[in-house]
Chain A
Amino acid sequence: MKNIMIVLISLILTGSIFADELNVVTTYPYIASIVEQVGKDKVNVFALAKCEWDPHTIIPKPSFIAKLRKADILIINGAQLEIGWLPPLMRQANNSKIQVGTPGILDLSKHVELIDVPASISRAQGDVHPDGNPHFHLDFKNIPKISTAIAHKLSEIDPVNKVTYEQNNNAFLEKFYQKEKEWTAALEKLKGTKVIEYHKIYDYLLRRVGFQLVGTIEPVPGISPTSRHIESLEKIISSNDIKYILQDVYHPDDASKYLSSKYKINMKIIPHDIGSVSNTNNIFEFYDEIVRRLIGD
């Protein structure tokens, strides 16, 4: 009994003593990749969601609770993307540092401009996000805002390393702006191209490239395609010169494949997060690969 008590007490204490590196938990891999760039060796970062999963419906694994229990900072995408899976995990983690309203939580959606904010809300329109489209990280122009918000947050929680975080962020931004010019130049020729996407996940990217979205495979967000909807898409296809169907890695691709082969439209798998296709191991490679896939045949 005495031994058990000693083990328990030391377990309780270890959580608070070894706090050399800042424990940062992020909901999605892309956030973790930016945190790595800004925090470098001062942080220990872990992303909860796996890159090949639908970001809306992450299985709330109990192991996530253990990660959140030890987090100093929790960085979320926000705009209600995590609403279906994160709140109970946060409650179960018993970590007062990362509750809503405490400085230990950073909501990235508050640092970017959201598009498609619905004027009225009804679930008859599907699984709509009342704050606007939450997939803002697909526009690379939002990344500097995100990395700067992360640098500020890391500095706020860990003021000793403030200068390091600022320097890391500046170095990251310098490199990122350089790459941004390359991506913008490469995508220039695609302006005005008409596309179809499965889910409204690429809208920020479409806006950046200047793509024209003419339809989605989902009839409304979160609802699987119906044959009636596909028929109406076919009408749109026959009266429009559509070049690409953009498909993510986690939704079934049979509808996209069917339309692609019937109407000879190029179907492109576009990664929605870091690691969801090969050669996307960090935030730079992620956009490199998106650009490569968009401009390639």
Chain B
Amino acid sequence: MKKLTWFLINLSILINVNLSAQTEQQSGDNPFSQSKFVPDISFILDVSYLYRDIKNDDYNLFEVPGLIHSTLEESAHGHEHAEMNSRSGFNLNYGELVVASTVDPYFDLFGIFHLSAEGFGIEEGYFLTRSLPLGFQIKGGKFLSSFGRINEQHAHYWAFANMPLVYKSFFGSHGLSEIGMQINWVAPTDFYLMFGCELLQGNNEISFGADGFQDISGSIKVSSSNAPNLYTGFVRTSIDVDNLIVLAGISGAFGKSRLNHGIDTDAPDGHAVYADTKILNANLTLKYIIESDRDITLQTEFLNKTTKGDLYYKDSIGTTMKGDINKDQSGLYSQLVYKLSQNWRIGFRYDLLMKNEIVRNSSTLDLPDFMPQLSSMIEYNPTEFSRIRLQYNHDRTKYFEDSHKINNEILLQVNLAIGAHGAHSF
């Protein structure tokens, strides 16, 4: 606690606030006091205890074939993951620091930082315009894309402890988090209708890449992108039917994949991809309000990803070969959450990876194409600032060297927030 206070104090100094004049009395004495300009600051801590019936070392070798590499392989590719709820035992998932304020009459600014064992990361840092005419708004900086429904929500707002599998499969454990610009427009209609598009750098660890690569011998070379590499577009609409809220959306992400998995090393399995990738999303949320503090929410999203392009790989003597790769993969999740009272919520989620076609050099890989996960949770929220959640996952998506590994896990998660009151969108 003391450490945290100290950290917040340092941060305030960084953002040019004269903290010595914090108290009312002192600020009265100091003609240059800026203490009234302290931005909204909040800190969210997420910790969990996980029990899994598989040893951590074994679990790290498991993969979701064609979709999620094993943790071990991921680190070999240089992706150091601060993945949530990943180990049996205690997990410090994240400490999230949020700083937000209005810049001037024209901009609002948000900074969301993740403090984890690996370091201090800018999760989001973006501005929003405040005064554009005709219902337009521009967002710029680093932010979670508005693609889909759950992507732009922060983890502490999710109804379950982990990200839906289809999102993790297509975007990695940080979701589609990108540097770029967004423009969105709200139609002046009686019902909610919003259009938006984004121009993004396109450096997603799983699906998109702007950085070029070349192999160890220099015989092949894919140059880096000189411009934003990824485009998204989305439409959302909502109507109310009595006490039922219906929210529906479609979105698409279109970009170049430059993915280097060790083609520039002497690893025999080193490979790389240079391809066009398209990810489409359809989502639907239904919330029925029974009464104040009691409601039922059904939320479902479907995603399809297609990749088409060149594959670079090594033959038996290590010479880089060029081939082609075609992927067509789909997944969905569907969750039902019942808020029983001010304090209690229960929920069920069905995750499914349902289409998994990968064609390499005209030969179709033999991959499982029905991989479900079932999750259920019960949650106690003593107040809106604290949450204790018990979740059970029955995961049938993991494989190790062609053998199916069924994974059961139970986790107890605690999520606490202090500081400024961060209200959430629908």
Are these two chains actual partners, yes or no?
A: yes
- 1/0 per residue B47-88: CB within 8 Å of A? 000000000000000000000000000000000000000000
Contact B185 A94 (CB under 8 A): yes
CB contact list, B17-58 vs A, under 8 A: none
| Bound form: Cα–Cα A99–B130 in Å | 7
A223 adjacent to chain B (CB < 8 Å): yes
CB-CB under 8 A from B108, the residues of chain A are 91
Is B188 touching A59 in the complex (CB atoms < 8 A)?
A: no
Q: Which of B171-179, B239-247, B365-373 sits within the interface?
A: B239-247
Residue-wise, chain B 282-294 has the 8 Å CB interface mask toward A (1 for contact) of 0000010101110
| Given known A62-B236, A88-B425, contact A252–B131 (CB-CB < 8 A) | no
Q: Residues of B contacting A178 with CB < 8 Å?
A: none
Are A61 and B245 also in contact (CB < 8 A) when A66-B190, A224-B343 are?
Answer: yes
Looking at chain A's contact residues, the main secondary structure is loop
Q: What residues of B have a CB within 8 angstroms of the CB of A87 in the complex?
A: 423
A70–B131 touching, CB < 8 Å: no
Residues on B with beta carbons closer than 8 Å to the beta carbon of A54: 292-293
Which residues from 52 to 69 on chain A have a C-beta closer than 8 Å to any C-beta of chain B? 52-54, 57, 59-63, 65-66, 69
Given the contacts A93-B186, A96-B131, A99-B131, A62 and B238 also touching, CB distance less than 8 Å: yes
Q: Mark A91-119, 1 if CB is under 8 A from B, else 0.
A: 11111100111000000000000000000
Indicate if the CB atoms of A95 and B135 lie closer than 8 Å.
Answer: yes
B: number of interface residues (CB 8 Å): 48
**In the complex, are the beta carbons of B135 and A250 less than 8 A apart?**
no
For A91, list chain B residues within 8 Å (CB). Answer: 108, 128
- The answer to whether A63 touches B192, judged by C-beta atoms less than 8 angstroms apart, is yes
Which of A8-16, A156-164, A201-209 is near enough to bind chain B? A8-16
Chain A residues with CB below 8 A from B247, complex form: 62
* Listed stretches A78-86, A132-140, A233-241; interface member: A78-86
| Given A16-B134, A66-B189, A86-B423, A61-B238 contact (CB < 8 Å) | yes
Q: Which of A59, A60, A69, A100 contacts B295 (CB 8 A)?
A: A59
Q: Which of B186, B341, B426 contacts A94 (CB 8 A)?
A: B186
C-alpha spacing A66/B191, complex, angstroms: 6
Q: Which residue on chain B has the smallest CB distance to residue A62?
A: B238
Q: A137 to B291, alpha carbons, bound, how many Å?
A: 23
Assembly CA distance A80 to B130 (angstroms):
21
- Please tell me if the beta carbons of A96 and B424 are within 8 angstroms of each other in the complex: no
Question: Inside 8 A of A84's CB, which chain B residues have their CB?
Answer: 384, 421, 423
**Among B102, B134, B385, B423, which residue has the most Cβ atoms of chain A within 10 A?**
B423
**Interface size counted on chain A using CB atoms at 8 A:** 43
Known: A63-B192, A83-B421, A93-B186. A222 touches B383 (CB 8 A): yes
B134 touches A15 (CB 8 A): yes
Residues of B within 8 A of A223 (CB): 382-383
Q: Are A127 and B384 in contact (CB under 8 A)?
A: yes
Chain B residue nearest in CB terms to A59 = B289
Q: Does B426 lie within 8 Å of A61, measured CB to CB?
A: yes
Closest to A91 in B: B128
A222 to B384, CA, bound (A): 9
Is A181 at the interface (CB under 8 A from chain B)? no
Complex: chain A residue closest to B238, CB-CB: A62
CB distance from A88 to the nearest CB of B (A): 4
User: Is B239 a contact of A63 with CB atoms below 8 Å?
Assistant: yes
Which single member of A63, A86, A94, A252 contacts B240 (CB below 8 Å)?
A: A63
Q: Is B216 part of the binding interface, using a Cβ–Cβ cutoff of 8 Å?
A: no
Cβ contacts under 8 Å, A83 to chain B: 421, 423
Minimal beta-carbon separation of A97 from chain B (angstroms)? 9
Question: A2 on the interface (CB 8 Å rule)?
Answer: no
What does the 1/0 interface line of B238-261 toward A look like (CB < 8 Å)? 111000010100000000000000
CA A16 – CA B133 in complex, angstroms?
A: 10
Task: Check: A123 CB closer than 8 A to any chain B CB.
Answer: yes
Give the chain A neighbours of B245 by CB distance below 8 A.
Answer: 59, 61-63
Shortest CB distance B426–A (Å) = 5
Judged by a CB distance under 8 angstroms, whether B132 is at the interface is yes
B415 at the A interface (CB under 8 A): no
Cross-chain contact B292 with A250 (CB below 8 angstroms)? yes
B133: chain A residues at CB < 8 Å are: 96
Which residues of B are found within 8 Å of A15, using beta-carbon distances?
A: 134-135, 188
Chain B positions within 8 Å of A, measured between CB atoms, are 102, 105, 108, 128, 130-137, 184-194, 236, 238-240, 245, 247, 287, 289, 291-293, 295, 341-343, 382-385, 418, 421, 423-426
Q: Told that A63-B191, A94-B185, A250-B292 touch, could you supply 8 new A-B pairs with CB distance under 8 A? A: A57-B292, A59-B426, A62-B236, A66-B238, A69-B188, A83-B421, A91-B108, A99-B130
29 CB-based A-B contacts, threshold 8 Å: A11-B187, A15-B135, A57-B342, A59-B289, A60-B423, A60-B426, A61-B245, A62-B192, A62-B247, A65-B186, A65-B192, A66-B191, A66-B192, A80-B421, A84-B421, A86-B423, A88-B424, A88-B425, A94-B136, A94-B184, A96-B133, A101-B102, A123-B383, A127-B383, A127-B384, A222-B384, A224-B341, A250-B292, A250-B293
